[in-house]
Structure formats: C-alpha cells, structure tokens
Amino acid sequence: MRRVLILAVAVFSMGPVAAIDTGQAFDDPVLQARYEKLISEVRCLKCQNQSIKDSNVFLASDLRREIRRLIEEGKSDAEVVDFLVTRYGEFALYRPRTTGKTLILWIAPFLLVLLGGFALFRVVRHRMSMPMDDDTAITAKEGSSE
Amino acid sequence: MSRYILPLIAVVALVLFLVIGLQRGDPRALPSPYIGKPAPQFELPTLADPAVMVASKDLEGDFALVNVWATWCVGCRSEHPFLLQLARDNSIPIYGINWRDTRPEALRWIAQLGDPYIASGFDETGRVGIDWGVYGAPETFLLNADGIVVHKHLGPLGREAWDRDFVPLINAGRAAQ
C-alpha cells in the first residue's frame, strides 16, 4: 500500500515540473542567476498572484522570452525593469521601486507600527493611572486595617 | 467622551477605504501606463496578406481604434457584432492586432463573422502585444489624430461603454481640431 502511495505521489508531482519552461536559459551561471531573479520578481499580469517564473500561461512565457532577449542584448537589470514598467506599469513588479507614487507602500508599514506603538503607550499609561486591580487592592486594604 | 474620538476616526477611515475598494469595479483591471502618451510604434504584416504591412503611421490623422483580438478569446466573439456596427456606421477607423493566433483560424473567423477592420496586424509571437502592454484580449485602445492613447478599454466593448467613455473623448477631440 505504502509503495503504491509513494509511486502515486511521485507520478502526480511530475506534471508541474515539466509544465514550466524555466530550465536553463543561459550557459553562463551569472546570466542565469540574473534571469531567474528577474523572472521571479515580475508579476504574471494574466494570473495575478503568480510570478512569471511560476506561471505557464503564454503571456508569462512571452515575457520570459523578452527578458531573456534583453539580457542577451546586454541590458542591465534596471533596463529590463524599465522595459516592463513602461509597458505594464509598476504593478508588474513584486518589489515596487521607490518612487513618488510607490513611496506610500514603503513607508506605510513603519507609520502603522508607530501608530500602534502610540496607541499601546496611551493604553498602558491609562491602565497605570487606574486604581490597582482587586487582589492587590484587597491586600493593601487588609494591610492598612491592621 | 474625547477618548472615543480617535477610534471613531480610525473606524470611519477604514470603512471609507473599504467602500472605495468595493466601488473600484474589477480589481484585476490595470490602468494603462500609455494613457496620455504616444502609442507604441509597431509594424506588422497584415492578416490578409503577409506581404503587406500595417504600421503606426497608417493610424495618424484621425481618431482610431486599435482592437486586440484572437480566435481563442471568448470576449472577442461577443464584442464582434458591435465592432461591425461601428464599422458600418463609419464611426471610427478600426485597426486590429490579431494576437497570438494562427493565420488560418483568424482568416476563417473573419470570413465567418465579418471584417470590421481596415487592417489587422498579425502578431503571431506576441511581441507587439507586449509593447502595447496587452495582458488579456480583448483590449481596445482609442488613439487621437496625433497618435496619443486617450483611452483603453478592457474586455468586450459594447454600446454602453462606447457611449460613456469613447464618444465624449472623440467629440471633444474633433471639436478642438
């Protein structure tokens, strides 16, 4: 039974491996690393919560092909990113660049932490100014009555 | 009383964001970065005749529609009668980009359903589609006489969207000329 299960798992997990043509695009390991990093950071516009590395819709494979071509032409990473943003907008990037428009994305988390910290500080200070809780209040009373 | 003001503001702000988020319509619809900018240059062999080219300069001089379509695209079939009607009414010159398709299938589609296009560029590899920021057919771009993209419609085009989004832009543009 266990053998059958193992075999089934092995067989059914083969499909996804073969589905996406993200194998070796470059012989040069440096170029290959750049290529893989870029395609994992570009959103597949057709299947919006996947990167073009993880998707096999034809738009994703077209974009992979374009990125491969740009790298072959000797374009820098920034130029490849520019190519995509000109055509599809900032949304195509999983790691948006720091520009005026996307600044809010980068600072919002810090602002929210500050805000939360401030709220916590207020609550704690308020609690501390309240009369002590029951147990200690009683012991204090008992103490004073003796 | 004053201790409720801050939470109240926070809740109101949150509700406001949620309402705006719900009213935005299709959350997958992306604004085109080309609005207000020159349409990307292109040159493609026409669907009808691989020896004849259709290019950006053919579109200049008047408002024009660039409709991205394919035979595998269900929405394209549903908007096709409306495109034919626009062509019959001489509303606007319509150009097609036949995106990621095969020539026999696209030619059969045109033969069966009718041809609203002055010409369709045959974009077999999807190169031009990427240049135009296309991510799902059908998409329809409205270009003014100077070749500037003034509007982009996602999904099947119909009378309602045409009257609401396209006609005012075209009328205003033609009046200014």
What are the structure tokens assigned to A32, written together?
Answer: 């290959």
pLDDT score recorded for residue A130: 79
Looking at chain A, which residue has its C-alpha nearest residue B28? A48
- Span between the terminal Cα atoms of chain A, in Å: 76
Of A48, A59, A63, the CB nearest to B28: A48
Q: Which residues contact B12 (CB under 8 A, 6 or more apart)?
A: none
CA nearest neighbour of B70 among B140, B158, B138: B138
Residues in chain B: 177
Question: What is residue B167's predicted lDDT score, i.e. its pLDDT?
Answer: 95
Q: What is the mean pLDDT of residues A86-104?
A: 82
pTM for the predicted model, two decimal places: 0.77
Per-residue pLDDT of chain B (177 residues; tens, 9 = 90+): 677 888 899 899 999 989 988 887 777 778 889 999 999 999 999 999 999 999 999 999 999 999 999 999 999 999 999 999 999 998 899 999 999 999 999 999 999 999 999 999 999 999 999 999 999 889 999 999 999 999 999 999 999 999 999 999 999 998 887
At residue B28, the 3 state secondary structure works out as coil
Identify from B130, B132, B134 which residue to disrupt to test chain A contact, counting A C-beta atoms within 10 A and taking the largest count. B130
Whether B78 contacts B109, CB under 8 Å: no
Q: Are A60 and A44 in contact (CB under 8 A)?
A: yes
Q: Given this model, what pLDDT does residue A138 score?
A: 53
Q: Write the CB contacts of A93 (distance below 8 Å, at least 6 apart in sequence).
A: A41, A42, A43, A81, A84, A85
ipTM over 0.90: no
pLDDT single digits (tens) A117-138: 998 999 999 888 877 665 555 5
Residues of B in contact with A45 (CB under 8 A): 30, 135-136
Say yes or no: B129 contacts chain A, CB-CB below 8 A: yes
Tokens of B160: 């309602």
CB B142 within 8 A of CB B62: no
As a whole number, mean pLDDT of residues A32-54 equals 86
